[in-house]
Amino acid sequence: MKRTIAYLSLLFILGALLYIANPNYGLKFGPGGSEWLALRYTDNYYITHGLKEVGGMNIVTDIVFDYRGYDTIGEATVLFTAIAGAIALLRPWRRDEA
């Protein structure tokens, strides 16, 4: 019974997402021209000003390390925590060491 409700709600969420992803009602795919400037003005700013403001040729690196460096710090922290957790959990039990 519970499982049926779970599958039905999964189906409902999938239908809602498909409705949103329809270009006639929601998201636009591959915007160009004036749509590009209206929907992707942040990307346009990065592409236009990235080379002058940060100095790197690789715009992805410019964004990841300079414009949005806090995100990269968080990402590095997540990696650090994941590896610390994995190593801490996979140590041998105390009675096995001997």
Partner 1 sequence: MGLIVKTTARAIIPLIGIFGTYIVVHGHLTPGGGFQGGATIAGAGILFLVAFGLDEMKEQYNKSLYSALEGIGGLTFLGVAMLGMGVAFFYNTLWHNGPFFNGQPGTLLSAGYLPIMNLAVGLKVFTGLVSALTTIALYRRWKS
Nearest to 68 by CA among 46, 37, 41, 36: 46
46 touching partner 1, by CB under 8 A: no
The helix (H) or strand (E) run that includes residue 94 is helix 94-97
Please identify, using beta-carbon distances, which residue of 11 and 73 lies nearer to partner 1.
73
70 touching partner 1, by CB under 8 A: yes
13 touching partner 1, by CB under 8 A: no
Measured CA to CA, the distance from residue 40 to residue 46 in angstroms comes to 10
62 touching partner 1, by CB under 8 A: yes
Nearest to 54 by CA among 45, 44, 67, 41: 67
Check residue 1 and report its DSSP letter: -
98 touching partner 1, by CB under 8 A: no
- Binding residues for partner 1 (CB under 8 A): 51, 54-58, 60-62, 64-66, 69-70, 72-73, 75-77, 79-80, 82-83, 86-87, 90-92, 96
